[in-house]
Amino acid sequence: MQEQNPIDYRLSPLHPERQYGRRCRDVSFFQLHAEGAFLVSAKKSAGITRKVEIDAQKEALLEVKNPFGDKKFHLDLKSTSLIDKNTPLLRFKCQSGGIVRLIAEP
């Protein structure tokens, strides 16, 4: 996960494939602390992002680069509202304790 600013996250960090030229097709992380009081979890298998979950620890605006590109995905929100979905960045208004789940459709 790379932070571009306190609310703009891109979920494609440097990993062994980029560093060592090896394919790293299965990657996951759980509740990494991110600037802006977010906990971020994600899972990638067979080289495809399967799920991203972001837990807001305080009220905040959140922007996430769509990890699925033009593929369909399911959006599951708790104490969070979607502001914009029609750009490469997904925009959310999160309450404290809010959760954003992005899940790839099969």
The pair phi, psi for residue 20, each rounded to 5°, is -120, 0
Residue 73 and residue 102: Cα distance in Å, rounded?
A: 7
The tally of domains found in the chain comes to 1
9 vs 100 pLDDT, higher one: 100
C-alpha angle 98-91-93 in degrees, rounded to nearest 5: 35
pLDDT tens digits, 45-72: 887 889 999 999 999 999 888 888 888 9
Q: 52: exposed, middle or buried (C-beta count within 10 Å: 0-12, 13-18, 19+)?
A: buried
The alpha carbon dihedral of 64, 34, 73, 50 has a sign of positive
Provide the residue range defining the domain that includes 34. 2-104
pLDDT recorded at residue 99: 97
3-17, 20-34, 42-56, 65-79: which has the minimum mean pLDDT?
3-17
Residue 6: pLDDT band with limits 50, 70, 90: very low
| CATH assignment at residue 27 | 2.60.40.1180
81 vs 16 pLDDT, higher one: 81
